[in-house]
């Protein structure tokens, strides 16, 4: 008898022995072969492949839907938070010219930068892209937006002056065909194809269109050598006129920047080169050279400074240079109250720091809401789980009722309840607990947000708690009591640990929902109760700073993932049960 | 029951009633007393009130009326955790978030016992159920039989004098269940504890108990040692519930000298032992155990009434033969014979005469 009662010596088909046998089988390592000699693992996977494909086919619609509507937007958002191609697309030549400039001291950038900026900005203004760039750079340096706008308006002036002078010498300067013949490669001679392609692709990138149509113009290489700036300016204009405005290049009078460029070319070595020229427009060019002193002196820095004196402010140039790369950490730095200084990253001025505070507040309030949901939801879930089914179902409907009411209505109801002339204050005043002129401020602050959001998110805590508690048999509590535990000890030592997975599931649900909540804080949050999500929404819909919104969103996503990871490490995600 | 008998009883139910809904009584007028050290089984079909009785004793249900006494003291108003009664639950109720050792140490911890003493007792309890090496495991890592042992050890570790067991072997397979029956009985005897055991498995009840209380319809139908219960059922419920039984309806013709002459509904006359029939003319249910039926004329008493029977089916069951007969219009009449070398195997279709000793044939209530 004593031998037989030792579990390890008891033989036969008992569950104990079945367990031991399976343990033993696992210890015998080495591949198991199927009947035809292939490893069993492989033949099994072959047999299961068909089933797997079928399963994949069944989930494919949802998978595609999620990819298109969820994963792709998230990827796009992550990309937007670092993307910064607008600068190099809009003012490509300026970006190029600024690479030489260090920008560390008080020195202004070189003339070439002003020159490039003049032509880039002129083209951008014609294409109506300069204000977009201005808005983008304004996020980094206040005032750049208006700088770009005012400059865009007055860049025509100098070109007009030059044109007037030239037309006084010869009427043909104001005629499209004259210009066209002069700049065109003609029937013989070499074409400046590279120049043309460069200008076309720059314009294409700036406007975001393909611009693949026929321009009916090709600059001549001879002209590009003789009057380089003029050829560039004319080519840009020709492409713009033909492909954006849809005009015929030959019939149109070029825009002012071409005259500015011509004046500059002639004043900077072009005069000598024109002497040897005998092509179309040679006479007019030589006439212009002879009267060079009548043509206004071109100084791009002065032109820019006249348009707006802020072009002599080195800080603006520094900002343009800092944000000229195609990808920038600037949005992320901004999102954590930092900025990209010349000597590395630095904190923003104290009065501009807002996001870290908002992140901290969002975390703190989400934790408060999660905590209140646990405190309020646990007893309710307990009662639900321990009542007879019929009664529990009726109470469950009460718990679910908020789900069937509009979120807006529920939030607004809290506004009615909590405001200073609201129900709760009225009752407190009536009871004499609060003086009439000293009513409590319970809405449009953190308190109001926590109250309203706790109420709204409570079902997300109760439901997982309830379903976990339902699986805890009452016999555990009875067992604990029969073993001598008081009601409290039985609850705390036996029941509560088993309900922790429900608390975990509920907390994750509530916390993650709370941390990204938008509408309730927006309505009842006032200034002290708003979340980071409200700021994101502001940047998406009001300030249109999508890059910053994307960076804030990415950080929020990262914070949630990190917290989830930490939760998994500490509590273990296996311990989360939804029932 | 007399009051004097209850005074020295360890556990006593006195006129206990229980109703859940205020309309029907689940337990009707229960009187029961147990001496210290007894192994008593409450046996009955589901809904017969046996588990309710156990729960009232444990303190999880309150009696609607009557008194429950433990060691002479009424315990109706003592909460379960102060009763000091060990309990083994149907599904063991081992705390899944604690190791085996923590489970066992729990009742000692809540009794504020010191650490070293706790460890000593846990070790001893584990060894008692031959699970000494399993202290560090979680209940989910144990098989059903092992969990059963741990549940038993936990109910015993704080040295309760009374241990309640609520169908503790219900979840085990047959072989292991039989094994654990002996094990529990051995431990109970070794420790000298008093055990109230609830089951609906009559074999379990008969194997383990000192006395069995057969429950039906909220009442104890019979309270007796297993052999008495089996051989002398006091009413037809007990007769039918315990073991296999052949029953036939009939009417009492005569009653004399402790013998009843019963005329079966088919007209045949047989001798019976009157159990709860009191006068001629009463309807009765006659009950005879399959293994007490005799078909060898040589072994029958002289002058005994015999009945004609037709063999319908012969089943070879290894240790016994089971033969189905048609007797007095009843074609579910079973006889069991031991598989012995000289035993006759009845051929289906053959006609035989069967009979029995009048003492084995009991005339019960209809």
pLDDT above 70 (res A563):
yes
Asked if residues A577 and A465 have their Cβ atoms less than 8 Å apart, the reply is no
Q: A501: nearest CA in chain B?
A: B97
Q: What confidence tens digit (pLDDT) does each residue in A420-447 have? A: 888 999 999 999 888 888 888 888 899 9
> What domains are there in chain B, each with its CATH number?
3-236 (3.40.50.300), 244-364 (2.40.50.140)
- Is the minimum CB–CB distance between A486 and chain B shorter than 8 Å? yes
pLDDT above 90 (res B360):
no
First to last CA, chain A: 44
Q: Are residues A395 and A266 in the same domain?
A: no
Window 496-535 of A: residues touching B by CB (8 A cutoff) are 497-498
- Nearest neighbour of A15 by CB, restricted to B83, B93, B176: B176
pLDDT above 60 (res A29):
no
Mutate to test the interface with A, among B110, B128, B133, B164 (most CBs of A within 10 A): B110
A339 in a structural domain = no
Residue range A340-369: mean pLDDT, rounded: 87
The model's confidence at residue A579, banded by pLDDT at 50, 70 and 90, is low
What is the Cα–Cα distance from B94 to B113, expressed in whole angstroms?
20
The model's confidence at residue A184, banded by pLDDT at 50, 70 and 90, is confident
Q: Do A14 and B176 touch (CB under 8 A)?
A: yes
| Cβ-proximal residues to A22 (8 Å cutoff; 6+ apart), any chain | none
Asked if residues B326 and B246 have their Cβ atoms less than 8 Å apart, the reply is no
pLDDT reported for residue A3: 42
A13 in a structural domain = no
Q: Are residues A399 and A533 in the same domain?
A: yes
Residue range A102-109: mean pLDDT, rounded: 82
A335 in a structural domain = no
pLDDT above 90 (res A315):
no
Mutate to test the interface with A, among B20, B70, B75, B95 (most CBs of A within 10 A): B95
The model's confidence at residue A373, banded by pLDDT at 50, 70 and 90, is very high
Burial B115-148 (b: 16+ CB within 10 A, else e): eeebbebbeebbebbbbeebbeebbeebbbbbbb
Asked if residues B107 and B158 have their Cβ atoms less than 8 Å apart, the reply is yes
A563 in a structural domain = yes
Asked if residues A478 and B81 have their Cβ atoms less than 8 Å apart, the reply is no
Q: Do A485 and B89 touch (CB under 8 A)?
A: no
* Helical ranges in B59-99 per DSSP H: none
One DSSP character per residue, A75-130 reads HHHHHHTTB-HHHHHHSHHHHHHHTS---SSSPPPPHHHHHHHHHHHHHHHHTT-H
Q: Are residues A210 and A66 in the same domain?
A: no
Task: Enumerate the residues of chain B whose CB falls inside 8 A of the CB of residue A13.
Answer: 173, 175
What is the Cα–Cα distance from A526 to B192, expressed in whole angstroms?
73
- Is the minimum CB–CB distance between B283 and chain A shorter than 8 Å? no
pLDDT reported for residue B220: 92
pLDDT reported for residue B214: 93
A1 in a structural domain = no
Q: What confidence tens digit (pLDDT) does each residue in B50-100 have? A: 889 999 999 999 999 999 999 888 998 899 999 989 999 988 899 999 999
Question: What's the token pair of residue B177?
Answer: 């269940």
Q: What confidence tens digit (pLDDT) does each residue in A63-96 have? A: 999 999 999 988 998 898 998 888 989 999 999 8
- Is the minimum CB–CB distance between B89 and chain A shorter than 8 Å? yes
CA distances to B108, B133, B138 from B120, rounded to whole Å, are 11, 14, 20
pLDDT reported for residue B2: 40
The model's confidence at residue A289, banded by pLDDT at 50, 70 and 90, is confident
Residue showing tokens 């993932």: A561
pLDDT reported for residue A279: 81
Q: Are residues A303 and A407 in the same domain?
A: no
Q: Do A1 and B186 touch (CB under 8 A)?
A: yes
Phi, psi for residue B67 in degrees, rounded to 5: -135, 140
pLDDT reported for residue B3: 43
Give how far B123 is from chain A: nearest CA, Å. Answer: 16
- The percent of residues in chain B predicted with pLDDT above 70, rounded, is 98
| Cβ-proximal residues to A239 (8 Å cutoff; 6+ apart), any chain | A196, A199, A200, A203, A211, A215, A217
Q: Are residues A165 and A189 in the same domain?
A: yes
pLDDT reported for residue A1: 39
Give how far B83 is from chain A: nearest CA, Å. Answer: 8
Q: Do A13 and B175 touch (CB under 8 A)?
A: yes
pLDDT above 60 (res A5):
no
pLDDT above 90 (res B300):
no
- Nearest neighbour of A14 by CB, restricted to B86, B131, B145: B145
DSSP run (H or E) holding B67: strand B65-70
Question: What's the token pair of residue B7?
Answer: 């005074």
Q: Do B145 and A1 touch (CB under 8 A)?
A: no
pLDDT above 90 (res A176):
no
Strands B39-43 and B194-199 come out as parallel
Q: Are residues A108 and A60 in the same domain?
A: no
Task: Enumerate the residues of chain A whose CB falls inside 8 A of the CB of residue B122.
Answer: none
The model's confidence at residue A215, banded by pLDDT at 50, 70 and 90, is confident
Minimum mean pLDDT among A186-190, A194-198, B5-9, B227-231: which range?
A: B5-9
pLDDT above 80 (res A552):
yes
Q: What is the CATH number for A410?
A: 1.10.3720.10
Task: Enumerate the residues of chain A whose CB falls inside 8 A of the CB of residue B97.
Answer: 497-498
pLDDT reported for residue A461: 93
- Is the minimum CB–CB distance between B112 and chain A shorter than 8 Å? no
A23 in a structural domain = no
- Nearest neighbour of A16 by CB, restricted to B97, B146, B182: B146
A21 in a structural domain = no
Give how far A8 is from chain B: nearest CA, Å. Answer: 9
Q: Are residues A259 and A379 in the same domain?
A: no
DSSP run (H or E) holding A560: helix A546-570
Q: Are residues A60 and A193 in the same domain?
A: no
- Answer yes or no: is the ipTM higher than 0.90: no
pLDDT reported for residue B1: 40
Kindly compute the dihedral angle of the four CA atoms of residues A256, A260, A263, A264, in this order, to the nearest 10 degrees.
-160
Mean pLDDT of the residues in chain A: 86
The model's confidence at residue A577, banded by pLDDT at 50, 70 and 90, is low
Q: Do A485 and B79 touch (CB under 8 A)?
A: no
Domain boundary, last residue among A270, A293, A328: A328
Residue range B153-167: mean pLDDT, rounded: 91
Q: What confidence tens digit (pLDDT) does each residue in B116-143 have? A: 999 999 999 999 888 888 989 999 999 8
Mean pLDDT of the residues in chain B: 88
What is the Cα–Cα distance from A48 to A132, expressed in whole angstroms?
56
Q: Do B143 and A486 touch (CB under 8 A)?
A: no
Phi, psi for residue B325 in degrees, rounded to 5: -120, 165
Strands B86-88 and B246-256 come out as unpaired
- Is the minimum CB–CB distance between B175 and chain A shorter than 8 Å? yes
pLDDT above 90 (res A375):
yes
For helices A111-126 and A193-207, angle between their N-to-C axes, nearest 10 degrees: 60
pLDDT reported for residue A12: 52
Q: What confidence tens digit (pLDDT) does each residue in A133-163 have? A: 998 888 888 889 999 999 988 888 888 888 8
- Is the minimum CB–CB distance between B146 and chain A shorter than 8 Å? yes
Q: B130: nearest CA in chain A?
A: A6
pLDDT reported for residue B5: 46
Question: What is the number of domains present in chain A?
Answer: 3
pLDDT above 80 (res B305):
no
Q: What confidence tens digit (pLDDT) does each residue in B12-29 have? A: 999 999 998 888 899 998
Q: Do A481 and B96 touch (CB under 8 A)?
A: no
Q: Are residues A407 and A271 in the same domain?
A: no
Mutate to test the interface with A, among B106, B133, B177, B188 (most CBs of A within 10 A): B106
Q: Are residues A396 and A434 in the same domain?
A: yes
Domain boundary, last residue among A328, A363, A387: A328
Q: Are residues A362 and A262 in the same domain?
A: no
A178 in a structural domain = yes
Q: With H, G, I as helix, E, B as strand and everything else as coil, classify residue B294.
A: strand
Mutate to test the interface with A, among B98, B143, B178 (most CBs of A within 10 A): B143
Give the domain extent around A198: 86-328
Sheet holding B86-88, edge to edge: B86-88, B162-166, B194-199, B39-43, B211-216, B219-224
Give how far B279 is from chain A: nearest CA, Å. Answer: 50
Q: Do B175 and A473 touch (CB under 8 A)?
A: no
pLDDT reported for residue A15: 53
Question: What's the token pair of residue A9?
Answer: 């010596």
Q: Do B145 and A16 touch (CB under 8 A)?
A: yes
pLDDT reported for residue A402: 79
- Is the minimum CB–CB distance between A313 and chain B shorter than 8 Å? no
Q: Are residues A258 and A378 in the same domain?
A: no
- Nearest neighbour of A489 by CB, restricted to B83, B110, B155: B110
pLDDT above 90 (res B38):
yes
Domain boundary, last residue among A72, A95, A115: A72
Strands B259-264 and A338-341 come out as unpaired
Q: A484: nearest CA in chain B?
A: B81
pLDDT above 60 (res A449):
yes
């Amino acid at each position: 008898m004593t031998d037989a009662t030792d579990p390890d010596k008891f033989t036969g088909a008992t569950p104990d022995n079945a367990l031991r046998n399976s343990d033993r089988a696992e210890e015998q390592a080495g591949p198991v072969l199927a009947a035809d000699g292939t490893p069993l693992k492989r033949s099994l996977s072959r047999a299961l492949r068909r089933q797997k494909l079928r399963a994949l086919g069944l989930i494919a619609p949802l998978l595609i839907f999620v990819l298109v509507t969820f994963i792709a937007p998230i990827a796009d958002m992550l990309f937007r938070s670092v993307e910064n191609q607008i600068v190099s697309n809009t003012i490509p030549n300026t970006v190029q010219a600024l690479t030489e400039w260090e920008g560390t001291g008080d020195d202004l950038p070189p003339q070439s930068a002003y020159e490039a900026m003049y032509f880039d900005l002129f083209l951008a203004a014609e294409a109506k892209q300069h204000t977009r760039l201005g808005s983008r750079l304004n996020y980094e340096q206040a005032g750049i937006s208006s700088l770009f706008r005012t400059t865009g308006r007055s860049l025509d002036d100098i070109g007009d002056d030059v044109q007037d002078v030239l037309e006084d010498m010869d009427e043909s300067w104001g005629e499209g065909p004259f210009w066209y013949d002069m700049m065109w490669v003609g029937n013989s001679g070499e074409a400046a194809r590279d120049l043309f392609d460069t200008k076309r692709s720059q314009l294409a990138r700036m406007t975001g269109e393909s611009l693949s149509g026929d321009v009916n113009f090709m600059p001549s290489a001879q002209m590009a050598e003789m009057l380089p700036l003029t050829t560039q300016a004319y080519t840009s204009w020709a492409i713009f006129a033909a492909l954006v405005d849809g005009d015929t290049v030959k019939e149109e009078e070029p825009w002012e920047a071409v005259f500015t460029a011509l004046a500059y070319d002639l004043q900077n070595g072009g005069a000598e080169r024109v002497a040897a020229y005998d092509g179309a427009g040679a006479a007019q060019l030589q006439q212009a050279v002879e009267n060079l002193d009548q043509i206004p002196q071109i100084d791009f820095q002065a032109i820019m400074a006249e348009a707006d004196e802020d072009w002599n402010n080195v800080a603006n140039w520094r900002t343009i240079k800092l944000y000229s790369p195609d990808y920038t950490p600037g949005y992320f730095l901004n999102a954590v109250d930092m900025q990209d200084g010349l000597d590395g990253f630095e904190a923003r001025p104290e009065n501009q720091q807002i996001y870290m505070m908002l992140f901290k507040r969002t975390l703190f309030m989400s934790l408060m809401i999660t905590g209140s949901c646990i405190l309020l939801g646990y007893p309710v879930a307990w009662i639900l789980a321990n009542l007879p089914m019929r009664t529990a179902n009726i109470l469950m409907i009460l718990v679910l009722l908020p789900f069937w009411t509009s979120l807006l209505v529920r939030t607004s109801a809290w506004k009615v309840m909590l405001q200073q002339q609201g129900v709760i204050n009225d009752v407190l005043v009536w009871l004499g607990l609060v003086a009439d002129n000293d009513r409590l401020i319970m809405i449009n602050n953190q308190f109001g947000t926590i109250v309203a959001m706790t109420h709204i998110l409570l079902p997300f805590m109760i439901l997982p708690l309830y379903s976990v508690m339902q699986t805890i048999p009452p016999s555990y509590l009875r067992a604990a009591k029969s073993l001598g535990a008081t009601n409290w000890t039985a609850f705390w030592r036996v029941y509560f640990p088993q309900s922790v997975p429900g608390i975990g599931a509920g907390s994750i649900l509530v916390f993650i929902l709370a941390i990204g909540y938008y509408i309730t804080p927006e309505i009842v949050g006032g200034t002290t109760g708003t979340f980071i999500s409200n700021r994101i929404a502001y940047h998406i819909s009001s300030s249109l700073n999508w890059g910053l919104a994307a960076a804030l969103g990415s950080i929020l996503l990262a914070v949630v993932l990190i917290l989830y990871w930490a939760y998994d490490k500490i509590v273990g995600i296996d311990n989360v049960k939804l029932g | 029951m007399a009051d004097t008998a209850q005074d020295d009883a360890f556990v006593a139910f006195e006129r206990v009633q229980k109703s859940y809904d205020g309309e029907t009584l689940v337990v009707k007028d229960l009187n029961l007393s147990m001496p210290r050290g007894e192994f008593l089984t409450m046996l009955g079909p589901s809904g017969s009130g046996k588990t309710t009785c156990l729960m009232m004793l444990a303190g999880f249900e309150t009696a609607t009326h009557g008194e429950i006494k433990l060691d002479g003291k009424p315990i109706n108003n003592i909460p379960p955790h102060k009763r000091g009664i060990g309990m083994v639950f149907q599904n063991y109720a081992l705390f899944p978030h604690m190791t085996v050792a923590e489970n066992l140490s729990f009742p000692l911890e809540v009794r504020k016992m010191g650490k070293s003493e706790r460890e000593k007792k846990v070790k001893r309890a584990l060894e008692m159920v031959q699970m000494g090496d399993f202290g560090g495991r979680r209940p989910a890592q144990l098989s059903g039989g092992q969990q059963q042992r741990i549940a038993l050890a936990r109910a015993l570790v704080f040295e309760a004098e009374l241990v309640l067991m609520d169908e503790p072997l219900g979840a085990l397979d047959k072989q292991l269940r039989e094994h654990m029956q002996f094990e529990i009985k051995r431990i109970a005897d070794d420790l000298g504890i008093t055990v109230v055991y609830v089951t609906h498995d009559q074999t379990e009840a008969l194997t383990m108990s000192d006395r069995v209380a057969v429950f039906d319809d909220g009442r104890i139908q019979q309270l007796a040692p297993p052999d008495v219960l089996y051989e002398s059922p006091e009413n037809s419920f007990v007769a039918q519930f315990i073991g296999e039984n052949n029953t036939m309806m009939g009417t009492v013709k005569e009653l004399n000298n402790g013998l009843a002459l019963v005329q079966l509904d088919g007209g045949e006359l047989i001798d019976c032992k009157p159990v709860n029939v009191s006068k001629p003319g009463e309807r009765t249910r006659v009950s005879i155990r399959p293994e007490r039926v005799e078909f060898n004329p040589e072994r029958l008493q002289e002058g005994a009434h015999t009945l004609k029977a037709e063999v319908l089916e012969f089943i070879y069951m290894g240790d016994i033969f089971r033969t189905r007969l048609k007797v007095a219009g009843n074609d579910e009449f079973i006889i069991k014979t031991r598989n012995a070398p000289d035993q006759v195997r009845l051929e289906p279709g053959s006609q035989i005469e069967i009979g029995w000793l009048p003492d084995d044939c009991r005339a019960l209530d209809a």
